[in-house]
């Protein structure tokens, strides 16, 4: 009877051990899964880190390339400024017998008030330009199509619109933009009497001898007048 009683007492301990073993097995499985996930995360992070290193190297190379380009552009700009400054000196102050005599306008430009004017009057129609072509030509000469500031200057422009008549004249720096007459310097035309009729997009202004300003299509071919600021002596 005593032996049987001892065997009966050992049964709960055995069951507890089995339950604990089952729990430990589950915990071990869970830990194994966690370790697997962590290893996968480490692998992904390692790959992402390598990818970021590669992108960083590309960005560093691009940064160096851009830095070199900026340095080259700065050098070119400085050289251009020096060249332009020398050109300005030679254009306005030509050297004769080792002496320089400065003028308010370079050769080929007419002085009036505070400006210099280039009257571009090719006779051949194929050498004449649209308004945009004329403005581009003036910009290439470090100037703009003429902006007229007062009646006196308007008369001067008209007087120098040589051999013009009807709807064939000289482009000036005035065109319709956003429904308004605007000068190339961005100002609106304040003297509406200078151009008859309502402003229409696609129209630009020409100067005609003894007839003032007229509105014509910007795509027509005409002569043109450039203007730049006169040199202050």
pTM (two decimals): 0.62
pLDDT of amino acid 92: 76
Distance of CA 127 to the CA centre of its chain: 30
pLDDT of amino acid 197: 81
pLDDT of amino acid 102: 83
The hierarchical CATH code for the domain 110-229 is 3.10.100.10
Alpha carbons 206 and 224: distance in angstroms, whole number: 8
Contact 187, 222 (CB under 8 A): no
* Strands of the chain, DSSP E: 95-96, 99-100, 110-112, 115-120, 144-145, 170-177, 180-183, 203-208, 212-217, 223-229
pLDDT of amino acid 123: 84
- What is the per-residue DSSP string for 127-183? G-B-HHHHHHHHHHTT-EEPPP-SHHHHHHHHHTSTT-BTTB-EEEEEEEETTEEEE
What residue has token string 């697997």? 36
DSSP letter at 114 equals T
pLDDT of amino acid 163: 86
Alpha carbons 41 and 46: distance in angstroms, whole number: 8
Domain ranges of the chain: 1-102, 110-229
pLDDT of amino acid 2: 47
Write out the chain's pLDDT in tens, 233 residues: 444 555 445 577 788 888 888 888 889 889 899 999 999 999 899 889 989 998 998 898 889 888 888 877 776 666 555 445 555 677 777 777 778 778 889 889 999 999 999 999 998 888 999 999 999 999 999 999 999 999 999 999 999 998 888 889 999 999 999 999 999 999 999 998 999 888 999 999 999 998 899 999 999 999 999 999 998 76
């Amino acid at each position: 009877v005593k032996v049987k009683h001892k065997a009966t007492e050992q049964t709960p301990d055995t069951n507890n051990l089995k339950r604990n073993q089952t729990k430990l097995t589950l915990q071990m499985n869970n830990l194994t899964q966690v370790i697997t996930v962590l290893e996968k995360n480490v692998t992904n992070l390692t790959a992402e880190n390598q990818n970021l290193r590669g992108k960083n190297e590309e960005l560093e190379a691009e940064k160096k390339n851009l830095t070199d380009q900026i340095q080259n552009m700065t050098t070119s700009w400085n050289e251009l400024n020096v060249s332009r400054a020398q050109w300005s000196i030679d254009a306005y102050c030509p050297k004769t017998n080792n002496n320089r005599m400065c003028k308010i306008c370079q050769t080929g430009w007419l002085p009036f008030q505070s400006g210099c004017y280039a009257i571009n009057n090719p006779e051949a129609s194929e050498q004449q330009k649209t308004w945009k072509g004329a403005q581009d030509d003036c910009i290439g000469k470090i100037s703009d199509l003429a902006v007229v500031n007062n009646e006196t200057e308007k008369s001067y422009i008209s007087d120098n619109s040589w051999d013009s008549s009807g709807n064939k004249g000289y482009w000036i720096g005035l065109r319709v933009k956003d429904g308004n007459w605007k000068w190339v310097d961005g100002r609106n035309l304040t003297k509406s009497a200078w151009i008859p009729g309502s402003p229409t997009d696609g129209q630009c202004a020409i100067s005609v001898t003894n007839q003032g300003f007229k509105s014509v299509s910007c795509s027509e071919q005409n002569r043109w007048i450039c203007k730049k600021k006169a040199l202050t002596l």
